[in-house]
């Protein structure tokens, strides 16, 4: 009877142990030793560089301008204009031929002209003859002395030609009629000192967008005609300060000429400048230094990942890795919005430089650059 009781105790104890083991297995605490490869080591990728910010890559147009200053000192006012003809000789004789003189004096709106001369010497064999615009004013024998002739208003114009000659000594064949003279012409009219100003646009001015003429006068009376490359940009009264818009199509690559012509009874003194606005292409290349260790090189290949979040101009992109001037890695793709993943197959210990640049005129916004090995 005692042996039966011991058997029952051992049987119950064994059942309890079996139940405990079954419960432990059902809780997931058991891993089959056949599922574990003890020769495999799990490693997290090493982040060499991570840039979360955005960068503009590719070709963009940069706004720029250049100023071309010049001084203005022009007038168109009534004034006295003197022309000193200096000393000269006129003569006329049968055996000696004839020598005369012809001079021009010009001024707009001429309202008076006087011919002032001194007969320094003469043999009085014949007459002195003086004409204005072909009309005879003097034809008489004169002695040495000082003379003045007022030209009639009916003969005045913007250009007056004064001719001086001598009549023949006729039968006095041994000598010509001779007059040694010193002469000055004095006119009143409008002095017009129009000016030209020149400036050069270089090839850098690829896309001209706008232009202005800015004026700041210390003295401004009246009006003016202003031309650029012989095209009218302004004609009328001018203020002390004024900005004049210029049609960009009037500008030329190379030399440009501004003509400033004052109206009658106008005076302008001061400063001016032409400002030309234009666009020039500028290339933005993303350059990222990457410092690789020996252990990182041993874990190649790696990945280069980034996002293009906005394409401003279509085209392509080039991604390269340099060690000095040596290209270690290069790849190319079209530039479009989305995620890009490139396999980094080669690098060298130390500082390498990763570049990303646009191709075929592309411009795009790049974010979340990530380099891992």
* pLDDT tens profile 345-355: 999 999 999 99
Comparing 56-60, 92-96, 172-176, 335-339, the range with the smallest average pLDDT is: 56-60
Q: What is the pLDDT of residue 167?
A: 96
Domain total for the chain?
A: 3
Across 253-272, b (16+ Cβ under 10 Å) vs e yields eeebebbbbbbeebebebeb
Going by pLDDT thresholds of 50, 70 and 90, the confidence category of residue 300 is very high
Name the more confident of 37 and 287: 287
Per-residue confidence band for 153, with pLDDT thresholds at 50, 70 and 90 = very high
Q: Is 31 contained in some domain? A: no
For residue 198, the enclosing domain spans 63-74+194-280
Same domain? For 308 and 357 the reply is yes
Interval 151-176 mean pLDDT? 94
Asked if 113 contacts 160 with a C-beta cutoff of 8 angstroms, the reply is: yes
* Same-domain check for residues 94 and 127: yes
* Cβ atoms of 191 and 107 closer than 8 Å: yes
Beta bridge partners of 138: 130
- On whether both 214 and 68 belong to a single domain, the answer is yes
Q: How confident is the model at residue 58 (pLDDT cuts 50, 70, 90)?
A: confident
Same domain, 249 and 319: no
b/e 287-314 (16+ beta carbons within 10 angstroms → b): ebebebeeebeeeeebebebebeebbee
Predicted local confidence at residue 208, as pLDDT: 82
- 153-182 mean pLDDT: 95
pLDDT at 24: 42
In the predicted structure, residue 9 carries a pLDDT above the cut 60: no
> Which band of pLDDT confidence, cut at 50, 70 and 90, is reported for residue 3?
very low
Cβ contact 191:76 at 8 Å: yes
CA distance 94 to 88: 21
Which tokens is 8 given?
């029952």
Which pLDDT tens digit goes with each residue over 17-26? 555 444 444 4
Percent of the chain exceeding pLDDT 70 equals 86
Let me know if residue 99 belongs to a domain: yes
Q: CA-to-CA distance for 193 and 269, rounded, in angstroms?
A: 12
Question: Which one, of 66, 107, 75, 71, lies nearest residue 258 by Cα?
Answer: 71
In this prediction, residue 48 has a pLDDT band, given cuts at 50, 70 and 90, of: low
Whether residues 154 and 236 share a domain: the answer is no
| 89 exposure class (CB count in 10 Å sphere: 0-12, 13-18, 19+) | middle
Q: Which of 22-36, 220-234, 359-373 has the lowest mean pLDDT?
A: 22-36
Q: Is residue 23 a part of any domain in this protein? A: no
Q: What is the CATH number of the domain that holds 99?
A: 2.60.120.660
Q: State residue 27's pLDDT score.
A: 37
Residue 368 has pLDDT above 80, yes or no: yes
Given 3-state DSSP classes, what are the helix, strand and coil percentages for the chain, each rounded to the nearest 5? Answer: 10, 65, 25
What CATH number is associated with residue 290? 2.60.120
CA distances from 310 to 199, 306, 338, 365 (A): 41, 12, 9, 5
Task: Give the residue from 259, 280, 301 where a domain finishes.
Answer: 280
Q: What pLDDT, in 10s, does the model give residues 266-275?
A: 999 999 999 9
């Amino acid at each position: 009877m005692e042996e039966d009781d011991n058997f029952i105790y051992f049987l119950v104890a064994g059942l309890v142990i079996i139940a405990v083991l079954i419960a432990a297995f059902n809780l997931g605490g058991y891993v089959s030793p056949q599922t574990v490869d003890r020769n495999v080591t799990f490693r997290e990728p090493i982040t060499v560089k991570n840039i979360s910010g955005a960068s503009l890559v590719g070709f963009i147009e940069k706004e720029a301008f250049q100023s071309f200053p010049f001084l203005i000192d022009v007038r168109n006012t009534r004034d006295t204009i003197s022309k000193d003809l200096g000393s000269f000789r006129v003569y006329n004789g049968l055996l000696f031929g004839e020598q005369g003189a012809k001079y021009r004096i010009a001024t707009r709106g001429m309202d008076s002209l006087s011919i002032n001369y001194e007969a320094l010497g003469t043999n009085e064999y014949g007459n002195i003859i003086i004409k204005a615009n072909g009309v005879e004013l003097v034809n008489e024998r004169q002695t040495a002395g000082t003379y003045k002739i007022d030209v009639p208003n009916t003969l005045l114009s913007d250009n007056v030609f004064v001719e001086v000659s001598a009549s023949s000594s006729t039968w006095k064949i041994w000598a010509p009629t001779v007059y040694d003279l010193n002469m000055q012409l004095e006119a009143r009219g409008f002095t017009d000192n129009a000016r030209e100003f020149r400036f050069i646009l270089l090839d850098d001015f690829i896309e001209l967008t706008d232009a202005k003429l800015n004026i700041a006068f210390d003295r401004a009376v009246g009006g003016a005609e202003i031309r650029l490359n012989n095209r009218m940009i302004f004609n009328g009264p001018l203020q002390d300060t004024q900005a004049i818009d210029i049609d960009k199509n009037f500008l030329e690559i190379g030399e440009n000429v501004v003509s400033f012509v004052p109206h009658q009874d106008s005076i302008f003194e001061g400063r001016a400048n032409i400002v030309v606005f234009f666009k020039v292409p500028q290339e933005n290349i993303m350059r990222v230094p990457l410092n690789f260790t020996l252990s990182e090189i041993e874990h190649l290949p790696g990945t280069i990942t980034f996002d293009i979040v906005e394409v401003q101009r279509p085209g392509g992109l080039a991604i390269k890795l340099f060690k000095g001037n040596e290209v270690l890695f290069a790849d190319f793709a079209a530039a479009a919005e989305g995620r890009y993943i490139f396999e980094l197959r080669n690098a060298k210990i130390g500082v390498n430089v990763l570049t990303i640049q646009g191709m075929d005129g592309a411009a795009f916004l790049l974010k979340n650059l990530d380099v891992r090995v």
